[in-house]
Each structure stands twice: as structure tokens, then as C-alpha cells.
């Protein structure tokens, strides 16, 4: 298969999906809850996932699709080509703010990320990368990240980290909040990966993410020299949920060694 053609195809689908999402803001959304009252989904999350799936099934027969809203395939392995799609990452922002959400897409082959895309729909900013060929923000190359220190770092994590939880000891987190320059929480894992990749924040961590939240972003982040693993420091599997951290190498290692103590 011609990879550049696949890249152009994926980008065109993403842009078209973005236009549909922007247009949807001119009429009323249908909003429902999923696992709990704050786990929201709209008709657009579902329509956009179906839009991708219809096209991919027709034009790339044999490719599998893993999508958040469940219209894709139930996968037990990552053999062959797998499209990992979050049609709207940051649904709560989409509903409440009409901004700060993204389309997140990773195209993997035999478990390896080949293409990564994060589309900041309202800013018309497409972050993209092909493994081994660097990362781009629209048509501009994204520079490789330089190293930094904890005391100069801005860390992306969400408020659930301050609540005692079953994953991580609070003592290390309290020290971390004191030692870093700042903490940010944007409400879209994909955008936070895009921000780590462009140096706007220096790390992003989560206690639970799904493959579609991070698949595209990890391809982009790795192209600029960031390291992404679970919170045990193990490679990501992209099948099922896991903890997650992405940061520049020195920061990644220092965060795991000195601040993150798993229970
Ligand atoms: C969520 C966002 C959020 C993260 C959640 C994700 P969704 O994705 O990325 O920032 O904290 O864990 O589930 O549901 O808006 O696609
Ligand atoms: Ca969701
Ligand atoms: Ca998501
Ligand atoms: Ca989503």
C-alpha cells in the first residue's frame, strides 16, 4: 500500500469530519450520559465515528477500526492495519465550551504506530506525524524537544490526582506539585499530547486512558523525542485501558523514579 496516499486520505477524512463538527455547533446537540452522569456523549461523537468507519470500510477493506463509541471492531490483537479513533476527545469541553476538543487518530500496523493525527477542530490545527519522518503542525515541522528539569516543568494532569486514589501514593504527588513550575489540566488527552509534543507543557499523566485517547498522540510525541509508557514505565499495549505518562526522556524518568509511587 502506498503510505503517502493513506496519509492524504486520513487527513482529508479528518478535515471533513472537522467541518461537520463545526457545522453541528449551529444546531442543538443530543446529549446523553454513559457510565455516569459526567461521562457524556453526543450525537456528533457517534456520527463522526460512523462517518470514519463507513469510509474506511469501503476504501481500506481489511483494515480494523477501534473506536470509542463502539461502532468499530472488537479486537483481540493488533495484527494488520488498525485505525484507533476518538471522534471527539474532550466531549465535555465540546458540550460546555465549544472548543478545546480534538479528533484523535492513530493508524497502526502490527501493533506499531505508523501515522498519528490530532486535529484541534476549532483552531483548524492539525498535528500529524509519520513514524520516522518527523512531526508537523499543519505544514510546519515541529522541532525535536530539548531536555528540561522538574523545577522548570509544567505538568498536565487532572484534579482526580489530588483525591486519594487506588493507583498512586499522594505523598509523591504533593511533593511534585510543590517542585514543578506549574500544573495544567485541559480536559482532552489528545490535546495534552499535542501540547507536550510542541513544548507548551512538559509532561502529561493519567491514571486511566484508552488506546484511542493516545494512539495518534504517541506517534507524534515519539517523533519529537518524547517517551510514552504506562506509569510502571512499561511499553504501551494499545489494547485495553492503562495508566499513561508522556514526557521528554529525562523528565519521564525522573517523574517515575522520584514522584510516582504506585500502590
Ligand atoms: C476523555 C478526555 C479527558 C480524559 C478522559 C478521557 P473523551 O476523553 O481525554 O481529558 O481525562 O480520561 O476519557 O471521553 O472526552 O473522549
Ligand atoms: Ca467519552
Ligand atoms: Ca477520549
Ligand atoms: Ca471521545
Q: Is 213 annotated as a binding residue?
A: yes
Find the Cα–Cα–Cα–Cα dihedral 217, 220, 223, 224, rounded to 10°: -90
Question: Which contacts of 61-67 are long-range, i.e. CB under 8 A and separated by 24 or more positions?
Answer: 66/211, 66/212, 67/212
- The CATH superfamily of 3-141 is Fructose-1,6-Bisphosphatase, subunit A, domain 1 (3.30.540.10)
Which three three-digit cell numbers place residue 81? Answer: 492495519
Is pTM beyond 0.80? Reply is yes
Residue of minimum CA distance from atom 16 in ligand 1: 89
What pLDDT sits at residue 232? 96
Report the pocket of ligand 1 as residue ranges, CB < 6 Å. Answer: 68, 86, 89-91, 158, 187-189, 206, 209, 213
| Ligand 1 nearest-atom number relative to CA 88 | 16
Q: Is 74 annotated as a binding residue?
A: no
Q: What residue ranges of the chain are covered by domains with CATH 3.30.540.10?
A: 3-141
- Note the helical H segments in the chain: 3-24, 43-59, 91-97, 170-179, 189-197, 211-223, 249-258
> In sequence order, what are the residues at sequence separation of 6 or more whose Cβ sits closer than 8 angstroms to the Cβ of residue 225?
144, 145, 248, 249
Residue of 75, 76, 80 whose CA lies nearest to 60: 80
Q: Is 89 annotated as a binding residue?
A: yes
What pLDDT sits at residue 161? 78
**Cα 235 to ligand 3 centroid, rounded to whole Å:** 20
- For the stretch 228-244, pLDDT in tens is 999 999 999 999 999 99
| Ligand 1 nearest-atom number relative to CA 89 | 16
C-alpha to C-alpha distance for 107 and 28, rounded to whole angstroms = 32
**Cα 213 to ligand 3 centroid, rounded to whole Å:** 4
Q: What residue ranges of the chain are covered by domains with CATH 3.40.190.80?
A: 150-258
Which three three-digit cell numbers place residue 223? Answer: 517523533
**Cα 88 to ligand 1 centroid, rounded to whole Å:** 9
Residue of minimum CA distance from atom 15 in ligand 1: 90
- Ligand 1 pocket test, candidate residues 167, 187, 216, most atoms within 8 A of CB: 187
- Determine the distance from the C-alpha atom of residue 43 to the mean position of all C-alpha atoms in its chain, rounded to a whole number: 21
What pLDDT sits at residue 159? 80
Q: Is 68 annotated as a binding residue?
A: yes
- Ligand 1 pocket test, candidate residues 37, 103, 159, 213, most atoms within 8 A of CB: 213
CATH architecture type of domain 150-258: 3-Layer(aba) Sandwich (3.40)
Longest dimension (CA), the chain: 52
Q: Which residues of the chain have pLDDT under 70?
A: 1
What pLDDT sits at residue 164? 81
Burial of 90 (0-12, 13-18, 19+ CB in 10 A): buried
What pLDDT sits at residue 46? 98
- Ligand 1 pocket test, candidate residues 102, 209, 211, most atoms within 8 A of CB: 209
Amino acid at each position: 500500500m502506498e503510505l503517502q496516499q493513506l496519509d492524504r486520505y486520513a487527513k482529508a477524512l479528518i478535515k471533513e469530519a472537522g467541518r461537520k463538527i463545526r457545522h453541528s455547533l449551529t444546531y442543538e446537540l443530543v446529549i446523553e450520559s454513559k457510565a455516569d452522569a459526567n461521562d457524556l456523549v453526543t450525537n456528533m461523537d457517534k456520527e463522526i465515528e460512523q462517518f470514519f468507519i463507513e469510509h474506511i470500510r469501503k476504501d481500506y477493506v481489511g483494515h480494523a477500526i477501534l473506536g470509542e463509541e463502539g461502532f468499530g471492531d472488537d479486537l483481540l490483537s493488533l495484527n494488520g492495519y488498525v485505525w484507533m479513533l476518538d471522534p471527539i476527545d474532550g466531549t465535555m469541553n465540546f458540550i460546555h465550551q465549544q472548543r478545546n476538543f480534538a479528533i484523535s487518530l492513530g493508524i497502526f500496523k502490527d501493533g506499531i504506530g505508523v501515522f498519528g493525527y490530532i486535529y484541534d477542530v476549532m483552531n483548524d490545527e492539525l498535528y500529524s506525524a509519520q513514524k520516522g519522518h518527523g512531526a508537523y503542525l499543519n505544514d510546519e515541522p515541529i522541532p525535536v524537544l530539548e531536555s528540561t528539569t522538574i523545577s522548570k516543568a509544567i505538568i498536565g494532569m487532572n484534579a482526580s490526582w489530588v483525591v486519594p486514589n487506588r493507583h498512586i501514593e499522594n505523598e509523591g504527588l504533593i511533593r511534585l506539585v510543590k517542585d514543578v513550575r506549574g500544573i495544567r489540566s485541559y480536559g482532552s488527552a489528545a490535546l495534552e499530547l499535542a501540547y507536550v509534543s510542541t513544548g507548551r507543557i512538559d509532561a502529561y499523566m493519567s491514571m486511566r486512558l484508552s488506546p484511542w485517547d493516545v494512539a495518534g498522540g504517541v506517534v507524534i510525541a515519539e517523533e519529537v523525542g518524547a517517551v510514552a509508557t504506562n506509569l510502571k514505565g512499561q511499553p504501551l499495549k494499545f489494547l485495553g485501558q492503562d495508566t499513561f505518562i508522556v514526557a521528554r526522556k529525562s523528565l519521564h524518568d525522573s517523574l517515575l523514579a522520584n514522584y510516582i509511587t504506585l500502590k
